[in-house]
Amino acid sequence: MTSTINGIVYYTDNIHLQQLHHHSTVYTTNNVLQFLDDHYISTKISDRGHIMRVNDPIYIADHAIIEPYTTFGGTNYFFTMGAFSYTRSLLPLNTIVGRYTSIAHSVSRMGINHPIDRFSSSSITYESESNGIRHYLNNNESRFEQTPSPFIEESPIVIGNDVWIGQDVLIASDGITIHDGAVIAAKSVITKDVPPYAIVGGIPARVIKYRFDEHIIEQLMELKWWQYDFGQFETIKATDSIQSFIDKIKSLTFNKQLTPFTPSVVTKDDFIKLNN
């Protein structure tokens, strides 16, 4: 029961890369709120209850796969997220987040790029839907031929497992993958993919160092400990050295004391049924 997106293994079936922001809207009812509680999906980090009130809209990505024990803190945008992860930011609906990932306040994605090799960087060269351009074209005959932008509209953010993204991080719109174990320093601007277990920061963000030595990272990437729920880690202490942690996970695995965590998931269709 795995899905692989941009080299990241997610321990849930049927996760898909969703290029656009296709979604459905459901409206909050008491049944919807109870459904969220029953499936351990929170919209507050620590307080009880939810940010939505009855009749408030909820936006659910078409391909959303949501595991239990997830928190969409302060947002009514629901996208694919793995267990024990949370976001304090309103992220785009085509975002994918793995397990055990922490996303701070005010993380956002840039808008679509503009072609700058044309006579103008203005959107007049490629679009006619924004109000100013649309009104002009409706009121005036235009002999100017537009050409579609070469850039794809706001490509997905793909985030792995055990990732920490600090506050006020800005992520480029052309499709960024943040691999397992990475750490993003606050106020960084991410313009390219982030390698596993890299600590990156700056404008634009660059690798500052790695969380662990290369041989440790190789072992962690092989173990993929996030396939398990942490309640099974009976011999492990939070303060164990990383090598001790690895050795204990290997021992538990060898002795068949760990079972992959395969909870029931929630999809867009589950929400839609509640509004029917």
Active site residues: 114
Token pair 């351990």 is at which residue? 40
Which H or E run includes 273? helix 268-275
C-alpha count within 13 angstroms, C-beta hemisphere, residue 182 = 28
- Strands 102-103 and 86-87, how do they pair? parallel
Instruction: Tell me the C-alpha distance between 199 and 14, whole Å.
Output: 30
153: Cα separation from own chain's centroid: 17
- Strands 206-210 and 183-184, how do they pair? unpaired
188: Cα separation from own chain's centroid: 17
Maximum C-alpha span of the chain? 76
Report yes or no: 23 and 60 within 8 Å, Cβ to Cβ: yes
Number of neighbouring beta carbons within 10 Å of residue 60: 23
Find the distance separating the first CA and the last CA of the chain, reported in whole Å: 30
Helices 268-275 and 30-38, packing angle to 10 deg: 150
